[in-house]
Structure 1
Amino acid sequence: MGGSKEYAVTMRGKERVAAVLPVQEHWLPLSNLDLLLPAIDVGVFFCYKKPPAKQSKTTFGSMVSALKASLAQALVTYYPFAGEVLTNPVNEPELLCNNRGVDFIEAYADVELQELRLNNPDESVERKLLPKKKEGVLCVQATELKCGGLVLACTFDHRIADAYSANMFLVAWAETAVSKPISLAPTFRRSLLIPRRPGSYDSSPDRLCALVSSRPPPLSPDQEAAVSRICYVAADDIARIQAASGGQRTKFEAFTAYLWRVLARGARPEDKVCRMGAVVDGRTRLARGGEMAGYFGNVVSIPYGILGVEELKDMDLAETAAAVHGMLRQATTEEHFRGLVDWVEARRPEPAVARIYLGEEDGGVGCVVSSGRAFPVGEVEFGWGRAVFGSYHFPWGSSAGYVMPMPSARRNGDWVVYMHLLKRFVDVLEVEEPPVFRPLTADYFLADAK
């Protein structure tokens, strides 16, 4: 697959974009589910071709001006993204909504869109097209490419927003740019996640979450490194995996089961167990009437299962998919999420986090799959055409891997899959027969964009 084409990026300017209307300064406390997230940043980026000749007046300068103007308007509604996270007197993070603004970077990359080897985002995207957020909650970078194309990238504080919330904002920003009304208004009502009095929870939060003070010692310098890759999975292969899982499982369950078995094949002799987790959105579980459809913040749980390496090797895909289904079932009720809220409340201000993020003392390997099936790659359109490619980028710093399948911009049922895994697992995936994870190339993502 090779490395990425080397290219230079020139920073042309940086300014702070604030909401176009004044915001009454106030504190917005993080919910107990927000407090389960460590201080990590998430990246997301979109690639656009040069506007067609009929839009001759659409230049990089005009596109950036449109992005800034619509961002300033969108931040009136999505004002938490214009704030900053500070520490309160009990050492917990808290959001100050003060309209600090969003750092907006303009850049030029001496590379053409078709030359970007996005299969290896560590080299082609990280620290080049994707900005490193230094302050605030959100940072944006617009990069002009040599071919006239544009890459729009954002980095945001995960403690403030999950992917669902970020997707809401991205769509609203694009709608604002083309003078459409915002289709889904956000709500910041923390009362929707208020702890119960008295609190109540079963044993599941103790299994799924842990206090940060219980974190194992830092990884040694010679610890095996993880790499990021972006591949695609053809619709036919998704259907084949689902059929092989017994036909009763969702595509997500079948995909997760497939990955779990790959972990076992890439395990070392000292790795006795494999952990597989999945991110579950609790919005529909907490309010089936749609009350939380626009909730902005984190509403996720990460249930996970543990299977022995040798046990996994002997299981067929249907058996593994059944194990995934059972693992997910524990996080599909309102009581589960209410219990998580109460569990965190009982331990505050001691910080806690999803246990699979921390790693385990008994060794083994782990991975988390996050469904990005709602990723709005076709809806983040600012007036100069749809994105030809888009993906999240989340090398999250955990010893456990992270994988996110998303819809392809080609709208043909394929999935784009972002992976952050130990290199040996990537090697196993890349030699699978029949192939499933195919390397992302310009021929693929530009095929329907001529």
Structure 2
Amino acid sequence: MAQAPSPLTFTVRRNPPELIVPAKPTPRELKPLSDIDDQEGFRFHVRLIHIYQQNPKMGNKNPASVIREALAKVLVFYYPFAGRLKEGPGRKLMVDCSGQGVLFIEAEADVTLKQFGAEIRPPFPCKDELLYDVPGSSGILDSPLMLIQVTRLLCGGFILVVRFNHTMSDAFGYVQFMKALSEMANGASSPTILSVWQRELLCARDPPRVTCTHREYDELPDKDGVIITPDDMECMSFFFGPAQISAIRRFVPTNIKRCSTFDMLTACLWRCRTIALQPNPKDEMRMIVIVNARSKFNPPIPIGYYGNVFAHSVAISKARDLCNKPLGHALELVMRAKSEVTEEYMKSVADLMVIRGRPRLTNVGYIVSDVKRNGLLEIDFGWGKAVYAGPDFQVSSSFTRYINKKGESGILVPIWLPGVAMKRFVEELNNLLAPDNKDHVIPEHLTTISKL
């Protein structure tokens, strides 16, 4: 079910980075971001990994050349990505659509996909080799908004890694851009879905007014080491196929049996993770769930809008309740938190950003997101569907769609925890999934928290 880090090492040879500019002239203008886009917590770069097998039908075509050419074409439609961010009054972010381009690197690695193991999943070895951090490229202001590296492998497959500035797009918007890129790579003259800017739709009202409670922006002290930094953690990936999902559903109360698989798994991981961390039983434990709010708006957010349209809903429970109460306790809290995200909630977030000077997201809690339906695996540049596609986050877990070596379709979830806690997490999860565990009795060695 879980996979530990691979010891694989390899060498990557890179061509010098180059700037890819739009294939045709594009408007030179200043385009303000929305007040959802330019909040402090989104001012970082997101990295996503796409892995493709060799395809004999593509002959000797170079995937880097195909993607490079398609990139110039798609930037005509998504020309803000070729610009640079500037700050205006009140630190308001706007894109200077200068057409300076996005960074692109072509590389080769002396490794095959088979050497990554029977199942290709995070954590990936040599991640920094698969995306070279070009000096000066990782800033927020006056830096390229996107960096792409295509690394060809000895087997004919390739690894595409994309890093983009989160203020420009969320996961939904990113997939829209990548689908457009793949369409251009396959010969289209324009994307099926045309890009829509209209960031004013998610700007603060005049006057701004906070109408909802936003626990996601609470300023909290780190009591008892609840905050875990990436340096303290190790990563393992967990696959949840039909058998594992059915096993967990045994513990879902009858009145909420129709809950989504994402909600159920989120509650399960929250509970197992808390047991593994062994916090003070009085501590508040937070699960922060990323909710795509596009469907909440009336009239709807336009098709083609690629800005950020999501909220961080927060479920909170005392540690002792999470560990000692049935799974339904955590599940109901997750479902209730998600239901609070409405159109008014999103408008309230935008207003809060302006009133409070764009506060950061709270650093206490664990963040989960659902990208399994975003179509990442289906992005095809001519070599077929990806064998793996997903974000590379070090402090959160993204649920991605995954097909294991048995051909089973399921959900892959990377988990980051300190080493000792990871062992307890695996034990607790295995106990939960055991066929003979009908009541989910926590083993004696995992009940330390309830006795503190």
Q: Same fold (TM over 0.5)?
A: yes
Greater mean deviation of Cα atoms: 150-159 or 409-418: 409-418
CA distance in 2, matches of 1:315, 1:372: 29
Q: 1:254 to 1:220 in 2, by over 3 A?
A: closer
AA matched with 1:174? S
Question: Which residue pairs with 1:263 in the alignment?
Answer: 273
Kept in 2, the 8 Å contact 1:285–1:334? The answer is yes
After TM superposition, give the deviation of residue 435 of structure 1 in Å: 7.8
- Say if 2:397 is the partner of 1:403: yes
AA matched with 1:69? E
Kept in 2, the 8 Å contact 1:266–1:425? The answer is yes
Kept in 2, the 8 Å contact 1:390–1:409? The answer is no
Q: 1:186 to 1:429 in 2, by over 3 A?
A: farther
User: Among residues 24, 28, 32, which one is paired with 1:29 in the alignment?
Assistant: 32
Q: 1:130 to 1:415 in 2, by over 3 A?
A: farther
- Say if 2:147 is the partner of 1:147: no
Q: 1:80 to 1:125 in 2, by over 3 A?
A: farther
CA distance in 2, matches of 1:116, 1:308: 40
CA distance in 2, matches of 1:187, 1:296: 7
Question: Which residue pairs with 1:391 in the alignment?
Answer: 390
Greater mean deviation of Cα atoms: 15-24 or 83-92: 83-92
Question: Which residue pairs with 1:48 in the alignment?
Answer: 52
Kept in 2, the 8 Å contact 1:404–1:419? The answer is no
Question: Which residue pairs with 2:350 in the alignment?
Answer: 341
AA matched with 2:54? K
* 1:4-36 residue CA offsets vs partner (Å, 9 max, x unmatched): 311111213321111111122211212111122
Kept in 1, the 8 Å contact 2:352–2:358? The answer is no
CA distance in 2, matches of 1:304, 1:104: 37
- Say if 2:30 is the partner of 1:20: no
TM-score normalised according to structure 2 size: 0.83
Question: Which residue pairs with 1:277 in the alignment?
Answer: 288
Superposition pairs of residues 115-126 of structure 1, within 5 angstroms: 115-116=115-116, 118-121=120-123, 124-126=125-127
Question: Which residue pairs with 1:235 in the alignment?
Answer: 242
CA distance in 2, matches of 1:223, 1:301: 23
Q: 1:220 to 1:196 in 2, by over 3 A?
A: closer
Kept in 2, the 8 Å contact 1:242–1:250? The answer is no
Paired residues, what number? Answer: 411
Q: 1:219 to 1:266 in 2, by over 3 A?
A: closer
1:42 alignment partner, SS class: strand
Kept in 1, the 8 Å contact 2:49–2:160? The answer is yes
After TM superposition, give the deviation of residue 220 of structure 1 in Å: 11
Structure 1: unaligned runs, 5 residues or longer: 360-365, 396-400, 437-450
Q: 1:31 to 1:111 in 2, by over 3 A?
A: same
Q: 1:315 to 1:222 in 2, by over 3 A?
A: closer
Structure 2: unaligned runs, 5 residues or longer: 138-142, 434-452
Question: Which residue pairs with 1:367 in the alignment?
Answer: 366
- Give the percent of matched residue pairs that are identical in Structure 1 and Structure 2: 24
1:352 alignment partner, SS class: coil
* 1:166-190 residue CA offsets vs partner (Å, 9 max, x unmatched): 1111111111111245232221102
Kept in 1, the 8 Å contact 2:5–2:235? The answer is no
After TM superposition, give the deviation of residue 120 of structure 1 in Å: 4.8
- Say if 2:171 is the partner of 1:163: yes
User: Among residues 294, 299, 322, which one is paired with 1:312 in the alignment?
Assistant: 322
AA matched with 1:279? I
* 1:277-317 residue CA offsets vs partner (Å, 9 max, x unmatched): 10011111123x54333222111111112211111111111
* 1:115-172 residue CA offsets vs partner (Å, 9 max, x unmatched): 1255453x51521213436131100000011222110110011111111111111111
Kept in 1, the 8 Å contact 2:9–2:126? The answer is no
CA distance in 1, matches of 2:116, 2:372: 24
Greater mean deviation of Cα atoms: 314-323 or 147-156: 314-323
2:127 alignment partner, SS class: coil
1:254 alignment partner, SS class: helix
1:202 alignment partner, SS class: coil
After TM superposition, give the deviation of residue 223 of structure 1 in Å: 9.0
Kept in 1, the 8 Å contact 2:377–2:385? The answer is yes
Kept in 1, the 8 Å contact 2:83–2:95? The answer is yes
CA distance in 2, matches of 1:307, 1:154: 36
Greater mean deviation of Cα atoms: 296-305 or 253-262: 296-305
1:295 alignment partner, SS class: coil
Kept in 1, the 8 Å contact 2:279–2:319? The answer is no
Q: 1:300 to 1:413 in 2, by over 3 A?
A: same
AA matched with 2:353? V
Greater mean deviation of Cα atoms: 230-239 or 166-175: 230-239
Q: 1:173 to 1:425 in 2, by over 3 A?
A: farther
CA distance in 1, matches of 2:413, 2:327: 20
Question: Which residue pairs with 2:8 in the alignment?
Answer: 5
Superposition pairs of residues 15-94 of structure 1, within 5 angstroms: 15-36=18-39, 37-52=41-56, 54-58=57-61, 62-94=62-94
Q: 1:269 to 1:303 in 2, by over 3 A?
A: closer
Kept in 1, the 8 Å contact 2:10–2:126? The answer is no
CA distance in 2, matches of 1:425, 1:30: 40
After TM superposition, give the deviation of residue 393 of structure 1 in Å: 0.5
CA distance in 1, matches of 2:191, 2:129: 31
User: Among residues 319, 337, 341, which one is paired with 1:327 in the alignment?
Assistant: 337
Alignment RMSD, CA only? 2.8
CA distance in 2, matches of 1:373, 1:197: 37
CA distance in 1, matches of 2:202, 2:94: 16
